[in-house]
Chains A and B, each alone.
Chain A
């Protein structure tokens, strides 16, 4: 009985932690070509060329860039897509 109560509390806490707004962050690496990274941002997020290039340059110069903000579920989908194109990506809780 004690065990069941503990599990329920843990699940509620985890669920709450995953709610809210999440950032997708892309990190720089020594190999990916600038034009390729721009193209991938256009392809995945549907960003216009200018915005995609700006984000690519931010990754290149600052080492990382916040490329999208929204729900956890959608952020995970984008992170998976970015990684499938061999870009290092992670999620951060916004705010």
Chain B
């Protein structure tokens, strides 16, 4: 899959995937996912550290891929156009990183069900831009799901 980047804003949105996940407390995600596990499972010691490392790896992969794609562009060029490739083997990592970002944004801003345009306009600016990013991440996930994930 290829993402054609046409503007500086496009790069900013792609760069924001990992920070969105991290600022929303992605390090707490493994604990949230396993909150209902019983004490006998020793999940805190045995599983959560592995999940943390696994989820961090997804964010590193996406951040590195975006950064590498940016560095391939011509720094002297007026246009910031570029291409980001997501191979089939990287699909799950991308999907997971986008999911982390969406979970974090939802947890932080509580968007709830699909918003009406009028509601969206009433959001404070940070929440509105977070909602738009979340929608973009969701659209990207849908494409990954339909065309990249096996």
Q: Does B94 contact A (CB under 8 A)?
A: no
Chain B count of residues within 8 A CB distance of the other chain: 30
- In contact, B145 and A33 (Cβ under 8 angstroms): yes
Assess the A31–B34 pair: CB atoms within 8 A: no
Of residues 71 through 95 on chain A, the ones whose CB sits less than 8 Å from some CB of chain B are 76, 79-80, 83-91
- B56-80 CB contacts (< 8 Å) to partner A: none
CA of A32 to CA of B98, assembled, Å: 10
Q: Which of B32, B41, B50 contacts A88 (CB 8 A)?
A: B32
Give the secondary structure class of A's interface. mixed
Dominant SS at the B interface? helix
Quick check: which of B3-11, B82-90, B99-107, B120-128 contacts chain A, the rest being far away? B99-107
Q: Are A88 and B40 in contact (CB under 8 A)?
A: no
B95 touches A14 (CB 8 A): no
Is A33 a contact of B40 with CB atoms below 8 Å?
no
What is the CA–CA distance of A88 and B36 in the complex, to the nearest angstrom? 8
User: Once the chains bind, are B33 and A86 in contact (CB under 8 Å)?
Assistant: yes
Is A4 engaged at the interface, CB distance under 8 Å to the other chain?
no
Taking the nearest CB of chain A, how far is it from the CB of B141, in angstroms?
6
Instruction: Give the contacting residue for B30; candidates A14, A30, A32, A83; CB below 8 A.
Output: A83
The interface size of chain A toward B, counting residues with CB under 8 Å, comes to 25
B111 / chain A contacts, CB cutoff of 8 Å: 30
Known contacts being A18-B40, A83-B47, A91-B41, is A30 close to B34, with CB within 8 Å?
no
Q: Which residue of B lies closest to A87 (CB)?
A: B33
Q: Is the CB of B40 within 8 A of A86?
A: no
Q: Assuming A31-B102, A91-B41, is B33 touching A83 (CB within 8 A)?
A: yes
Residues 130-150 of B contacting A (Cβ, < 8 Å): 138, 141-142, 145-146, 149
A-B contact sample (10 more), CB < 8 A, given A80-B51, A86-B29, A89-B33: A14-B40, A25-B36, A31-B106, A35-B142, A35-B146, A36-B145, A83-B33, A84-B54, A90-B38, A91-B41
Footprint of B on A, CB under 8 Å? 14, 17-18, 25, 27, 29-33, 35-36, 39, 76, 79-80, 83-91
